[in-house]
Amino acid sequence: MQNQWNDKDAARFTSLLEQRVYTSRLQGADSSLVLHGGGNTSVKVVEKDIFGNDEMILYVKGSGWDLATIEAQGFSPCRLDHLLKLATLEQLSDTDMARELQLSMTNPSAPAPSVEAILHGLLPHTFVDHTHADAIVTITNSKNGEERIKEIFNSDEMIIVPYVMPGFKLVRAVAELFLEKATPKTIGLILMNHGIFTFGETAKESYDRMIELVGRAETYLQAKSAWKIDRTTSNSSQVNKKISSKQTLAELRKEVSILAGFPVILSTYSDEDSMNFVHRADIETVSQQGPATPDHVIRTKRIPMLGRHVEKYSQDYKKYFDEHSPHSSQTLTMLDSAPRVILDSDLGLITLGPTAGDAAIANDIYRHTIEIITRAEMLGGYRALPASDLFEMEYWDLEQAKLKRQGTPKMFAGEIALVTGAASGIGKACVASLLARGAAVIGLDLNPTITSLHKRKDFLGIQCDVTDEAALRDALEESVQCFGGLDMLILNAGIFPPSRSIAELSTEEWTKVMRINLNANMALMNIAHPLLKLAPHGGRVVVIGSKNVPAPGPGVGAYSVSKAALTQLARVAALEWGIDGIRVNILHPNAVFDTGIWTEEVLEKRALNYGLTVEQYKTNNVLHVEVTSHDVAELAAEMCGLFFAKTTGAQVPLDGGNDRVI
Ligand code: ZN
């Protein structure tokens, strides 16, 4: 455990709150301490209220903020008096606690305070740090965990808190233990199966203690030969990765989506660490015990699913919940029994979530869980929380989610779209429109810049020549490994060759245009069909056609014919695929000038040809409006949405009105 404190950096953070920001970020940057909002920090400061009176304010991490990137405004200002008064109550429901925490704030527009706010308030020190450090969680989740903790830490410096679910019960438990056991030497608390608190009078003191105490736990693991994980590949993990798994994965995603009640993203990892873990001889016992710390429960669910038996998992889940939950089975209907982690000996580690970001978080968390389980097993045996606590936690988190009033999910949340010709022009705009509607998007393009078009979890850019069928197959395989299936296909890639009369047109040029604008789309539709068939909300295809289909012009024979043939192919697909619930619609744009081929110079030349200004040329249509890539992309995205839910085989012009088309 490295202490990252740096005097020079720290000097830039002057006030107490700024110092709080600095050491919070240091801890947030270390994923073995803090993972995806898994920790929280606070500082107590004196401030003047509106009447000029001094009051003690607890600035505690606000919900929705990540310690790694937190700013001063990410801390919620709570009146300490109010928190301490709440701590004296015998009982406080989750709903009441959430409301009271909000009421305690001096700034109503600050983020909601962490549910652990009262705990921070109770501890009398200026700075309080709380993490779910892997090393602490590993030891507290091991056989004889409590004895080991007592071996590592002196009883006068550390108070051990038996597992209590986060929430008001934990507040009461800590309040009582602290009152009873705290000495002037106390510098921290260990929460069994949960994490660690440290505190101090300065940001540095509290941070140093966190690093030192967690470091001691790491040293203990090293001394017990429970630190270094054997990463050599076992024979059993030499799975044939050449075998196509996209169909299996898409089927699995569909099953889980039905169980969840909404489409999910499914990400598959078959790297050595994942394969080694799924091939452990004791995988059934070690993986079926539940997550390591309460805040992992929801993101990775109660227990991972072993193998691909979705139906059985769901039934077991409901059965266990019925047996162990103190809540009525009515609450069952509020829980989705879909797994968030699947361990499969052939496929590897699979993580799922309502968005690509959620699936990625489940992966991050589960990789830490794998390390924790592996080390705890080396230490003497992994011992997770009993099932009843996990269900209680899951139910509780559900309540918390309700309190947070989550907004309605985006239109394409959990769905996957593939766009060809995605690096520029209409294709690039389609990617943006689909991402904005919540879809995970795969962009294919010949241009290598596609791989870095967006740096986000819900975008995958693949350099690909669409006329190469093998490359298309590989791209689809990679896409399904990444997101789990295919719901929407935007056929956009195409070329617009220089104007040429039929008398001048070579067979080579004709064939080239057909290969790119027509044959490649036929091949992709052929490969994509079995995947689109498995789309939880039905597959959707949008073909970017051209005004040249209904209204061809001289000199564009190859282009017009290729787009007309593609349109005809799409119409046949609409007829053939209706039975599979797949909709195929066609968009005919015209005069979209904000693309790469239309430089200012070319535009001026063209306009001059017609005796028009560039502006007049761009808006030379019935409505006198300019048509942009964004306009085309928005309509293409909407054609995948609800407004077009009962439309297939349609051809919609997007040209500002063209008298030859009308
Ligand atoms: Zn915690």
Q: What is the pLDDT of residue 231?
A: 78
As residues whose CB is below 5 A from the ion ligand 1, the structure lists 195
Q: How far is the CA of 236 from the centre of ligand 1 (A)?
A: 37
Q: How far is the CA of 572 from the centre of ligand 1 (A)?
A: 57
Q: How far is the CA of 390 from the centre of ligand 1 (A)?
A: 15
With a CB cutoff of 8 Å and minimum separation 6, the contacts of 402 are none
In the chain, what percentage of residues exceed pLDDT 70?
Answer: 93
Q: What is the pLDDT of residue 524?
A: 98
List beta partners, residue 491. 543
Q: How far is the CA of 497 from the centre of ligand 1 (A)?
A: 61
Low-confidence winner among 264-273, 291-300, 503-512 (lowest mean pLDDT): 291-300
Residue type, 397: D
Q: What is the pLDDT of residue 236?
A: 52
Confidence check: pLDDT of 618 > 70:
yes
Q: How far is the CA of 39 from the centre of ligand 1 (A)?
A: 6
Q: What is the pTM of this model?
A: 0.92
Confidence of residue 386 (pLDDT cuts 50, 70, 90): confident
Q: How far is the CA of 58 from the centre of ligand 1 (A)?
A: 17
Write the burial class of residue 628 (CB in 10 Å: 0-12 exposed, 13-18 middle, 19+ buried). middle
Q: How far is the CA of 32 from the centre of ligand 1 (A)?
A: 14
Q: What is the pLDDT of residues 122-152, one digit of tens each?
A: 999 999 999 999 999 999 999 999 999 999 9
| 54-61 sheet: strands from edge to edge | 75-79, 54-61, 40-48, 127-131, 195-200, 188-191, 158-161
Q: What is the pLDDT of residue 199?
A: 96
317 carries an active-site annotation: no
Count of alpha carbons within 13 Å of 515, Cβ hemisphere only? 11
Q: Max CA-CA distance within the chain? A: 98
| Category of 147 on φ-ψ map: left (φ > 0), alpha (ψ -120 to 50) or beta | alpha
Q: What is the pLDDT of residues 219-252, one digit of tens each?
A: 999 999 999 988 776 655 455 555 679 999 999 9
Q: What is the pLDDT of residues 75-97, one digit of tens each?
A: 999 999 999 999 999 999 888 99
State the distance between the two ends of the chain, measured CA to CA, in whole angstroms: 71
Q: What is the pLDDT of residue 392?
A: 72
Contact 434, 356 (CB under 8 A): no
Confidence of residue 35 (pLDDT cuts 50, 70, 90): confident
Q: What is the pLDDT of residues 451-475, one digit of tens each?
A: 999 999 999 999 999 999 999 999 9
Mean pLDDT of the chain: 91
Helix axes 520-532, 246-260, angle to 10 degrees: 50
Q: How far is the CA of 348 from the centre of ligand 1 (A)?
A: 30
Q: How far is the CA of 184 from the centre of ligand 1 (A)?
A: 24
Q: How far is the CA of 132 from the centre of ligand 1 (A)?
A: 6
Strand 195-200 versus strand 188-191 pairing type: antiparallel
Q: What is the pLDDT of residues 562-588, one digit of tens each?
A: 999 999 999 999 999 999 999 999 999
Q: How far is the CA of 31 from the centre of ligand 1 (A)?
A: 15
Identified catalytic residue from 269, 317, 395, 559:
559
Q: How far is the CA of 130 from the centre of ligand 1 (A)?
A: 7
Confidence of residue 629 (pLDDT cuts 50, 70, 90): very high
Closest Cα to residue 57, out of 122, 128, 121? 121
Q: How far apart are CA 380 and CA 439, in angstroms?
A: 44
Q: What is the pLDDT of residue 63?
A: 87
Confidence check: pLDDT of 48 > 60:
yes
Q: What is the pLDDT of residues 307-333, one digit of tens each?
A: 999 988 888 887 777 776 666 555 555
In the chain, what percentage of residues exceed pLDDT 90?
Answer: 78
Q: What is the pLDDT of residue 328?
A: 56
